[in-house]
A and B are shown apart, each in its own frame.
Chain A
Amino acid sequence: MSEKDMNSKVNEMLARSEANVKNSGKKFVRPEDEEREVVAPDGSIIKVNPIYDYFSGARPEEEKPRNGIVEKFLNWARAESIWVLGFGTGCGSIEIPPLVTPRFDMFRFGVQMRPTPRQSNAFIISGYLSVKTLKRVIRTYEQMPSPKYVLALGSCTINGGMYYDSYSTINRLDHYIPVDVYIAGCMPRPEALLAGFAKLKELIKAGKAEKANEYARNFDWYKANQKKIVKDWNMPDYNW
């Protein structure tokens, strides 16, 4: 891509972001996100607009698979480097630490943990998900680089599990973020998680783990579902 193309793309993104901020009013702008002036260490005054400066206004984009053997090679490579985000949402997160011990040892399958969404491509939703956590999950999921995969652990993510009638936990995770592999059980043992990883690798190698693209394709539907339950939507629409 030439520099000119790049610049025009960035301008387009900024314009779209500006339109989003205008259309949605000031509703989601928290005090710390408001436009303001700050004093730099050298005494000069800098204008800061966190909505533009910190967040991207671009919608997620679909990435077309490459041709034939190239995509196969890429998928093979992807399947062998699954980097899991260390983010526990429910009771299932207690099943993840044993995987890092010699007894279960997920490193032998090329799976390892990372502390930040920027460096990981697999997200384990471990158990029940309250609306409050879902908001954080959405932000985190959108920060992860594509291709990214979601493993839903436990019955709570499938149909609400034992919390199906709770006012604060969601019933079906796949209405809010796309799910690649479900691991059923309450709670699934670490072996089940390893089986889930094996299944995920199988899917990636077969080129079927394209849920990040699905998210980009049905972005409006997902956003509508998310906003239906996250009532105080105080984050930018297209984050990061």
Chain B
Amino acid sequence: MNEILDKIKQKYNAEDVTIQRERLAFVTVSKNLAIDAVTWLRDYEGFSHFVMMSCVDWMEDGKFQLLYLLHNPETKIDLGVKTYIDRENSVMESAHHLWKQVWTYQRELREAFGIDFPGSPRIEENFVLEGWEDIPHMRREFNTKEYSENTYFPRPGRETYDPATYMQQKLYPNQPVTAKRKDNDK
């Protein structure tokens, strides 16, 4: 494990190395070197299995964090390569030439976060939603409750109760309520 981490640190200036457990580690690589690093891991270090690709929205920092999770079937090591891309101009180099399943992940990320991967096959097609016109729904500024209320005719009279308080009132109506509600958002 340490061997591969040392190598990637030396070769690609990997920062922020986290060893999660014995066979799982994450490194952060700059945007320009990320695909190079993933290619190198696949071709020379035996990380031939692509586990998944995902994205985290760091809205406060104005950044998206992309994660390429790779697996080495020989040594059974999982290595996550993270990289930050700009949130406003979210374009990332495509990795579709490395594994075919990356196509699907990149289509999903484009629909959910609006990240563009130029050159990725079928990237323009709908992934799950059809005819979505609003901002990408997984961006954190998208307010799903507000969207739902404006779009889907909410039924009036819907109320939310705290189960502890509600049950106490039902079971012991004559006694003062001692159970405290934990979350205040309805």
Residues of A with Cβ closer than 8 Å to B? 131-132, 135, 158-160, 164-172, 175, 225, 228-232
Q: Do A160 and B152 contact each other (CB < 8 Å), given the known contacts A166-B144, A167-B137, A167-B144?
A: yes
State which of B133, B137, B152, B155 has its C-beta within 8 Å of the C-beta of A158.
B155
Decide if A232 touches B137 in the complex (CB within 8 Å).
Answer: no
Bound form: Cα–Cα A165–B142 in Å: 12
Near A by CB (< 8 A), chain B positions 92-131 give 128-131
B21 within 8 A of A: no
Q: Give the residue name and chain of the A residue nearest to B157 (CB).
A: A159
Q: Do A135 and B154 contact each other (CB < 8 Å), given the known contacts A167-B147, A167-B148?
A: no
State which of A164, A169, A230 has its C-beta within 8 Å of the C-beta of B154.
A164
Residues of B with Cβ closer than 8 Å to A? 128-134, 137, 142, 144-145, 147-149, 151-155, 158
Query: In the complex, what residues of B have CB within 8 A of residue A172's CB?
Result: 152-155
Q: Do A232 and B130 contact each other (CB < 8 Å), given the known contacts A166-B148, A167-B148?
A: yes
Decide if B155 touches A171 in the complex (CB within 8 Å).
Answer: yes
Bound form: Cα–Cα A228–B137 in Å: 18
Can you identify 7 A-B contacts, CB atoms within 8 angstroms?
A131-B130, A132-B128, A164-B148, A164-B158, A171-B155, A172-B154, A229-B151
Query: In the complex, what residues of B have CB within 8 A of residue A168's CB?
Result: 128-129, 137
Query: In the complex, what residues of A have CB within 8 A of residue B145's CB?
Result: 165
State which of A132, A159, A160, A175 has its C-beta within 8 Å of the C-beta of B130.
A132
Decide if A231 touches B131 in the complex (CB within 8 Å).
Answer: yes
Query: In the complex, what residues of B have CB within 8 A of residue A159's CB?
Result: 154-155, 158
Bound form: Cα–Cα A150–B113 in Å: 37
Query: In the complex, what residues of A have CB within 8 A of residue B151's CB?
Result: 167, 228-229
Min distance, Cβ A8 to any Cβ of chain B, angstroms: 38
Decide if A170 touches B130 in the complex (CB within 8 Å).
Answer: no
Q: Give the residue name and chain of the A residue nearest to B144 (CB).
A: A167
Query: In the complex, what residues of A have CB within 8 A of residue B133's CB?
Result: 231
Q: Give the residue name and chain of the B residue nearest to A170 (CB).
A: B152
Decide if A171 touches B153 in the complex (CB within 8 Å).
Answer: yes
Q: Give the residue name and chain of the B residue nearest to A230 (CB).
A: B131
Bound form: Cα–Cα A131–B148 in Å: 12
Decide if A232 touches B155 in the complex (CB within 8 Å).
Answer: no
State which of A158, A171, A231 has its C-beta within 8 Å of the C-beta of B148.
A171
Decide if B132 touches A231 in the complex (CB within 8 Å).
Answer: yes
Bound form: Cα–Cα A29–B153 in Å: 29
Decide if A160 touches B154 in the complex (CB within 8 Å).
Answer: yes
Query: In the complex, what residues of B have CB within 8 A of residue A131's CB?
Result: 129-130
Query: In the complex, what residues of B have CB within 8 A of residue A166's CB?
Result: 144, 148
Q: A167-B134, A167-B147, A171-B154 are in contact. List 5 more A-B contacts (CB 8 A).
A: A167-B144, A168-B128, A168-B137, A172-B155, A230-B131
